[in-house]
Structure 1
């Protein structure tokens, strides 16, 4: 289904950050995957990704000693399967951890640009035809220096959202084998225009939405004054106090009894059901079918009562 676009809307087709679609152009919206990224989320991510692009440009220019540029194009919400399906094979992909957050990130760009960066770092021009193959151990080591610097800049750019300590996890050349997330997981895909020397291509930085959801919500929340914070804390205390006064139905029961359907349907007045509850076993104290204590039958002021007793050892072992 399509709808006219009225400004950038995240989720499915992306949010233009530089250039972008012509106003009014139709865009695809998948109702099976509702938008999770709000406009506020996208704005916070855009600030971080643009900062990363600027610093990455500096790192590339310094280490490769050639003209380089990295510029943010868009931020999209996709399923990981859809993202992987959009990449050619072979491609250069590196995964990295997001400590202390769960999940993994992924940085990807064309394999010929990855090979050209190695050529530049070894003093070459990078303009000759580059091999279309996996990197050798030496090329991986050389590329690792560049990737480590880029991940440092990534962590610095995202510092205002959450503290990160990214660590390279592995390299892959077949997108289908780069297991950075489950296929149905929602990921945030930042696309960049990447230029190294006379080579141009598109780089993507992929982050799991679930890992960043809380941090993004916190980053987009308005900063409250001290008076507003005290008012919110007082309201939370009042709610907690009132919750303690909410009446709760509590039952005292024997151990549950199992009978067959035929026996249940044939019950008649005068029939006896054997409870099979041991005489020395305490009764269960329950609420909403949850047992939270044990008791024995007693009386109080000529009324039937139950006296709470310690939890039986058998119940402790099975809990």
Structure 2
């Protein structure tokens, strides 16, 4: 019997090590203990809301810093706070916002250097080419708070009933690892944006506690019991509008007779004078009825009914 020898990984295709490495690089890590996936219909609703917020925020920035600004929506996802912070730079600006009646905090994040360029333009000075990532002075922090308060108004307008609780700025942090806006395992709905001010462009994000939005999205709604599904279906179908018609029995007519029709011609029908009309609902025969009137309007008097 012959022996089978394995080919080197460089011949005949990639070796098992390369295949395993490629599969590991292509497959995202998913923790089944903390499912953080938005339903498709919920994600679409949030995308439309955050796209509206992006337009509103860009208009507000343009009016405040007197330079053409564009904010573009990138993506929205649900993730744990620890994962969200891990994707942020170590030095950045995190505006912490407190919703009314809850301890959960929302975050508006953007680079501090970009915020300093906004402040420079608000004070009538052109923004320098490079600006440091540093904490704000008292005047700078006051101006940034003013911008963020108006951004929160745009956020409430864009989300509408999805965000019933009002948000207000509570503090500003500059180190993402020490901001402590939420517990590590708390779920957030994070939206990512690109903010372009003049020739400068940067990434920004808005993170909202998932508990503030999921209830309005229907995530916590209890399913209806399945025992009365037939009655629920019948009740729903009973409210669907359908067209009701009175029709005569069909008659066969030659095409030439139709082509020769003129005003005043009489077209005989196969329907007898005293025969009730067919009662059609949605083009289906459900019974017979005689023509009549009620309160000055044409009406149908039901003669027979039939089940199909």
Secondary structure of 2:91's counterpart equals coil
Q: CA RMSD in A?
A: 2.7
CA distance in 1, matches of 2:203, 2:39: 25
Q: Is the 8 A contact 2:161 2:216 kept in 1?
A: no
Q: CA separation of 1:91/1:162 partners in 2, compared to 1, >3 Å: closer, same or farther?
A: closer
Residue 96 (structure 1) shift = 0.4
CA distance in 2, matches of 1:110, 1:62: 20
Match of 2:263 in 1: none
Q: Is the 8 A contact 2:36 2:78 kept in 1?
A: yes
The yes-or-no answer on 1:129 pairing with 2:137 is: no
Residue 161 (structure 1) shift = 1.7
Secondary structure of 1:160's counterpart equals helix
Match of 1:212 in 2: 213
Match of 1:139 in 2: 140
Match of 2:161 in 1: 160
Q: Is the 8 A contact 2:75 2:191 kept in 1?
A: yes
The yes-or-no answer on 1:174 pairing with 2:140 is: no
Q: CA separation of 1:162/1:216 partners in 2, compared to 1, >3 Å: closer, same or farther?
A: same
Match of 1:106 in 2: 107
Q: TM-score, normalised by structure 1?
A: 0.58
Q: Is the 8 A contact 1:102 1:211 kept in 2?
A: no
CA distance in 1, matches of 2:31, 2:74: 22
Residue 89 (structure 1) shift = 1.9
Secondary structure of 2:182's counterpart equals coil
Secondary structure of 1:54's counterpart equals helix
CA deviation string 1:166-218 (max 9, x = no partner): 10010000001212210011111100011122211110100111232211118
Match of 2:15 in 1: none
Q: CA separation of 1:169/1:195 partners in 2, compared to 1, >3 Å: closer, same or farther?
A: same
Q: Which runs of 5+ in 2 are unaligned?
A: 1-25, 223-231, 237-308
Q: Is the 8 A contact 2:79 2:190 kept in 1?
A: yes
Q: TM-score, normalised by structure 2?
A: 0.60
Match of 2:184 in 1: 183
Secondary structure of 1:158's counterpart equals helix
CA deviation string 1:43-84 (max 9, x = no partner): 111111111101000001110111211111011221101111
Structure (1 or 2) with the larger CA radius of gyration: 2
Q: Which runs of 5+ in 1 are unaligned?
A: 1-24, 222-227, 233-319
CA distance in 1, matches of 2:52, 2:148: 17
Q: CA separation of 1:140/1:162 partners in 2, compared to 1, >3 Å: closer, same or farther?
A: closer
Residue 26 (structure 1) shift = 5.3
Q: Is the 8 A contact 1:65 1:120 kept in 2?
A: yes
Q: Is the 8 A contact 1:88 1:175 kept in 2?
A: yes
Aligned length: 203
Q: Is the 8 A contact 1:107 1:204 kept in 2?
A: yes
Match of 1:50 in 2: 51
Residue 129 (structure 1) shift = 2.4
Q: CA separation of 1:67/1:177 partners in 2, compared to 1, >3 Å: closer, same or farther?
A: same
Q: CA separation of 1:60/1:28 partners in 2, compared to 1, >3 Å: closer, same or farther?
A: same
Match of 2:69 in 1: 68
Match of 2:302 in 1: none
Residue 220 (structure 1) shift = 10
Secondary structure of 1:183's counterpart equals coil
Residue 36 (structure 1) shift = 4.4
